[in-house]
Structure 1
Amino acid sequence: MSADLNAATHGARAAMVDRLVSDGVLTDCRLREALLRVRREVLLPHAYVRVSGPGADPIEWRLLQGAHPEDREEWFGLIHSDESILLQRDGEPLDALRRGPVSGGHMSSMSTYTPATVGALQALRVEPGHSFLDLGTGPGVSLALAAAVTGPGHATGVEHDGHMSAFARRNVDDLALGATVVEGDALDGHPAGGCYDRIHSGIGVPCVPTAWVQQLAPGGMLLTTLATRTPSWPGQVLVTRTPAGEVEAVLKGTQRGYRPMFGHRWLTALDHRARIEADPGRSRPTTLAPPADDAYGFWIAAAHMLGNGSLVRDFQAETMTIVAPDDDSWAVAGPGDGTVRVHGRRDVWAELEDLHARWDEAGRPDRHVVELPDGGGPQHVVSGTGRNALTWTLPALATVPRQDAMTTPSQGPVAAVSPAPLPTGTHPRSPS
């Protein structure tokens, strides 16, 4: 690396860290040093930029190659920004990508945008000497940062895609951090490595895999996204194993979370947007004002309890708009006048009214306890106390296709979701 480029990369990393600190995202001193140390240009040597707008088919992309003089400035700014970096279409090989315009395909791997990675690693409180397991490691950004904190020989990443695992292994090795990348099914964890002090999952799951819990060491922590069919209201589960070996798990709603793996069909409001604008539905009175975006305790309950995650929100709409795509139904909140407009056979807003009343009676809980039976079995969620508590049962892991039996990439890439509301210019996030 030339002296000028070396200075530029140091400067870009320092500016990125300063931004994260000033935004209140980055507070951990060890992670701050890791972000300054890990050379992102090694892990993210190229990037796709989407050219076409929402709903375009086929999607038009442009591939930036960091080594190319005409791409370098845009690529360099992108990989040090707060954007996720799009890296792979449809599981393609990564050793002979051609720069320039590309048509079609769907992203099968991206890097998680940096604030989300920082938030996850800080929640796990990674420390030197911790054994760290990164599941769905993608290009290895979170793995590399964790390795810079834990020290050589303590961090392992598992990636199912052979092309991506080879790509990440080569680049992580070039950083000389002592991290390991193995190819395998993230749902199995990495039993060959024993038990881990910290486990980070870069894929969303419908329930917590028993294998992950079994590989959590006493005093350990596990963090994953608990996903439903709706990308609008993800939840984050923090599992801890006490020094005595007891397992505790807490689910909290969050603004962003990771996507599930291939084969998972996401709901979308995009197909209904024009119809809703043309006919919002019949108006009726309501006593429920649109719940706040940060009422995460309510929204995570809605994601799980209302039609098994069959509702999705259009965050681009002028007023709160909730759609049930499978039932061709929607609700559009009035502009602060005590009314709501509903369309279709499902009164979506009535379901929200009922659930909100139950959430009130339960004490407006913002955290939900997940019961993880020893040796597997149904996982139940409970929030609140007494007869007014909200409860539901999580779907079995078998409802999500295994990574060795993928359906077509168009049914949903291994990526991560940013529900809402998103800053301008952000992308769906993915395993880092």
Structure 2
Amino acid sequence: MSLDPQAAATSSLRTAMVDRLASSGVLTDPLLRDALLHVRREVLLPHAYVRVSGPGADPIEWRLLDGSHPDDRQEWLDLIHGDESILLQRDGERLDALPRGPVTGGHMTSMSTYSPVTVEVLQALRLEPGQRYLELGPGPGVSLALAAAVTGSRLAAGVERDGHMAAFARRNLDRLGLEATVVEGDALDGHPAGGTFDRIHSGIGVPCVPQAWVEQLAPGGRLLTTLATRTPSWPGRLGVTRTRTGLIEATLRGGPRGYRPMLGHRWLDATDHRARVEADPGTPRATRLAPPPDDAYGFWLAAAYRVGAVVRDFRAETMTLVAPEEDSWAVSGPGDGTVRVHGSRDIWAELEELHVRWERAGRPDAYRVELGDGTGPRHVTSGPGPKALSWTLPPLPAVPRRTPRPGAPADAVPLLAGAVRDVAPEDTARPGGGA
């Protein structure tokens, strides 16, 4: 039986998306490729916000695309099958019967990350049929749907804090017939009623992995999450495995992208300092440290912790680092062996010192994390010996508890904190993601 013209056009867009991901080298897993070809994104992402106003606008102007409206359909289809993040929810709003067209003000509180990140994460987890999968902060459920398509019926579950988003994802997943479960609750508590899982993925960034997540990892299992610091510029990806004998091993790596942080976490932002930095880059001084390359992920990850409270402005012509709370910044080069510094804090001097330590440690690109039993500090180290580069992870912050919304499912865990998949500070960070 042939597809109707609209279904055929949508299927063609899915195929083009998959071919693009494969030809770029991002997509290599045949099981995930098959899932991407068959999971209908238009069901999971029936609408999308498009930002109309430029950087710095307040209030922000948006336009809502309604996928069921003929005038919006082609733009919406192209968007949801492209490589950009899909903005879905503004200020925690209800997600049924949203009015299409112009909207003023508000901030995005949920989004679906762009496809290359989704593929990278799911491939890193090495999904296979028959595995039990847990998604923490699934948002609209794109990653959850793809995982369910690989693992099989009734094996994939998600825990979503936002009641409106949980209902939205549950309804759309049911339409796809994937038999994935979405529970309304606090992702930081894991899924207490769900038992153990072979694969756990967090769509929210956390400063330190909750012990509840580690305890729900089955023998032979893998867990993947973003470790969030105060800077959005240099995210870390924490991979945790439980061996067949029950031992926990954890490795932290840097990278170009990460998921947005948990509710209540506040990133630093260089945007308010941009005009001042351009007007007065600072006092020049000599330096032996050329700007480290962007892909020196092990170094920049260490900088997020060891230098700290610093954010990079990726919009600047030369490398510009700002410490907003100390009203200090450093502007490199360009390429003449000098750096310009301003304020009470010499950020570049801290970077110089760290670079020496990183070199002595052997230029590590990965760090071992000692998780322990969750009662003490979590230590990070590049290896044994006195030359190792080390630091301690901050604890999870205390977040006020909330009462579950009326009508929440009986198996919902108490609400505490979860994902706010909001837009990153403009042009001061690499793109992040949501589930």
Using structure 2 for the length normalisation, give the TM-score. 0.93
Query: 2:258 aligns to what?
Result: 257
> Which residue identity does 1:190 align to in structure 2?
H
- Aligned residue type for 2:433: S
1:58 CA drift (Å): 0.7
In the alignment, is the contact (CA less than 8 A) between 2:269 and 2:425 conserved in 1? Answer: no
Change (3 A) 1:216 1:169: same
Deviation at 1:428, TM superposition (A): 4.7
Change (3 A) 1:135 1:429: same
Q: In 1, distance between residues paired with 2:337 and 2:146?
A: 49
- The residue aligned with 2:267 is 266
Whole-angstrom CA distance in 1 between matches of 2:148 and 2:6: 24
> Contact 1:47 / 1:64 at 8 angstroms: preserved in 2?
yes
2:223 is aligned with 1:217:
no
Say if 1:368 and 1:416 are closer, same or farther in 2 by CA, change over 3 A.
farther
1:269 positional shift: 1.0
Tell me the amino acid that sits aligned with residue 220 of structure 1: G
1:154 and 2:155 are equivalent in the alignment:
yes
Measure how far apart 1:219 and its partner are.
0.1
Letter of the aligned partner of 1:334 in structure 2? G
**Distance in 2 between the 1:163 and 1:420 partners?**
27
Tell me how many residue pairs correspond in the alignment.
Answer: 421
Q: For the structure 1 residues 188 and 329, does the alpha-carbon distance in structure 2 shift closer, same or farther, using more than 3 Å as the test?
A: same
Give, in whole Å, the separation in 1 of the partners of 2:339 and 2:374. 46
Alignment of 1:27-426 (within 5 A): 27-306=28-307, 309-397=308-396, 399=397, 401=399, 404=402, 414-415=420-421
Q: What does residue 431 of structure 1 align with?
A: 434
Cα 1:372–1:420 shift into 2, 3 Å = farther
What do you get for the CA RMSD once the two structures are aligned? 2.0
Displacement of 1:415: 1.4
Between the aligned partners of 1:69 and 1:428, the Cα distance in structure 2 is: 31
Report the CA distance between 1:384 and its aligned residue.
Answer: 3.5
Alpha carbons 1:257, 1:416 under 8 Å: kept:
no
Change (3 A) 1:219 1:421: farther
SS at match of 1:27: coil
Partners of 2:315 and 2:49 lie apart in 1 by 24
User: SS of the residue aligned with 1:251?
Assistant: strand
Deviation at 1:385, TM superposition (A): 3.0
Q: Distance in 1 between matches of 2:400 and 2:123?
A: 29
Verify the 8 A CA contact 1:106 1:413 in the aligned structure 2. no
Shift of 1:9: 1.1
* Residue 13 of structure 1, CA deviation: 0.5
Describe the shift of the 1:420–1:379 C-alpha distance in structure 2 as closer, same or farther (beyond 3 A). farther
3-state SS of 2:386 partner: helix
* Aligned-partner Cα distance in 1 for 2:287–2:48: 47
Contact (CA 8 Å) 1:129, 1:154: kept in 2 or not?
Answer: yes
Contact 1:379 1:394 in 2 (8 A): yes
User: Residues 75-102 of structure 1, C-alpha deviation per residue, up to 9 Å, x if partnerless?
Assistant: 0000000001000011100012100000
CA contact (8 A) 1:84 1:112 kept: yes
Structure 1 unaligned spans of 5+: 406-411
1:262 CA drift (Å): 2.2
**Contact 2:271/2:426 (8 A) holds in 1:** no
Deviation at 1:429, TM superposition (A): 3.9
8 Å CA contact 1:230–1:311 kept in 2: the answer is yes
Contact 2:113 / 2:433 at 8 angstroms: preserved in 1? yes
1:387 partner SS: coil
> Deviation of residue 210 (structure 1)?
0.1
Query: What secondary structure is seen at the aligned counterpart in 2 of 1:258?
Result: coil
Distance 2:363 2:430 in 1: 31
Contact 1:196 1:220 in 2 (8 A): yes
Amino acid aligned to 1:430? G
Contact 1:137 1:158 in 2 (8 A): yes
**Identity of aligned pairs, percent?**
71
Please say if residues 329 and 348 of structure 1, whose CA atoms lie closer than 8 Å, have aligned partners that are also in contact. yes
Q: Distance in 2 between matches of 1:266 and 1:419?
A: 8
CA distance in 1 between partners of 2:163 and 2:278 (Å): 44
Counterpart AA for 1:298:
F
Q: List per-residue Cα deviations over 1:219-268 (Å, max 9, x = no partner).
A: 00000000001000000000000000000000000100011122211111
